Amino acid sequence: MSQMLTPARTRGSLRATAAAVSLVSLLLTAGCGASAGSGGHARATAAVPAGFPVTIDNCGVRTTYHRPPSRVVTIHQHPAELMLALGLKDRLIGTAFPDSAVLPELKEDYASVPRLADREPSFETVLDAEPDLVYGGYGSAFDAKEGRSREAFADAGIDTYLNREYCGEKRVTMKDTYDEIRTIGQIFGVRDRADRLVADLKGRVGRAATAVAGEPAVSVFVYDSGDKSAFTAGGRSLGTELIRLAGGENVFADLDDVFGDVSWEQVVEREPDVIALYDYAGAGSVEQKKEFLLSRPALADVPAVRNKRFVVLPLTATLVGIRSAYAVEDLARGLHPGSFR
């Protein structure tokens, strides 16, 4: 997200937590002949569920889960939505940083989980919740400068998982969404649920793509935020693939990054037919964004501005999570409304 328009407890608690973890580990080792579990926790081998242990390589961190996590804190909204869609509400003990409207079918469950912070919570706040796993949506979930590094959590005996979109290795595609769902299904021992969810989302995407098949591609400019320059989705973003699947073409697909700044002169030169507005807290309302774009004389002859063709997408719908499949349908309807009459 753009930084332009975007938006403790004492250290004694830390020491007490670490001491408690050490004591539990010692007792389990002495009393049960336990094997080492994920995050440094000792686990009793007799209690290992079927299908476990599971070892996951995630953004350079290798973790072995000897049983499904039972106390999870999610930092950012889309990891929480994914867990809820997999029927894992009972594992969630805290969420943080909501940034878009929650899917209607998940709204009640999401609201029932304690919110630890409106933005990223402090390390101490997370520790006080006593999780066994912290699942982060953006790289900022594990910001070392804020004391929330993955190493710091590991030292406290807490496992971490970061949404694969922020491993920073390659272009993000819908395959990443499906792989993310299946990986979380593995970690929590609900592979069948994950497979069913992936099949449902693939069906949703397929129906939308089929509806617009054969239609000429519509040029799309993604406006996230920015005033002196425009912060937009680049060629490595999932947004670019969502636009393609919906029968469009991102005018800044040649930008070799997930997000980046471009000049307004470049926007004018590329003449987008539609503007996709990313909607999230802290970056101005959708109406403010529309007003800003419509009020700029330099943009007056841009087809999307001249014809007031805007498509609104919640930011969470453009990330690796369950909402991306919904975004394809919303985009397709906005780009090719005649295909859905």
Tell me the per-residue pLDDT of 244-293, one tens digit each, with 9 for 90 and over: 999 999 999 999 998 999 999 999 999 999 999 999 887 889 999 999 99
Contact 16, 239 (CB under 8 A): no
pLDDT at 194: 98
Q: What is the DSSP string of 17-85?
A: HHHHHHHHHHHHHHHH-PEE-GGG-EE-GGGPPTT--EEEEETTEEEEESS--SSEEEESHHHHHHHHH
Q: Which of 41-45, 228-232, 294-298 has the weakest average pLDDT?
A: 41-45
The span from the CA of 335 to the CA of 170, in Å, is 27
List, in order of start, the domains of the chain with CATH numbers: 39-162 (3.40.50.1980), 214-333 (3.40.50.1980)
Q: Position 288: which residue type? A: Q
pLDDT at 36: 35
Tell me the per-residue pLDDT of 152-209, one tens digit each, with 9 for 90 and over: 999 999 999 999 998 876 789 999 999 999 999 999 999 999 999 999 999 999 999 9
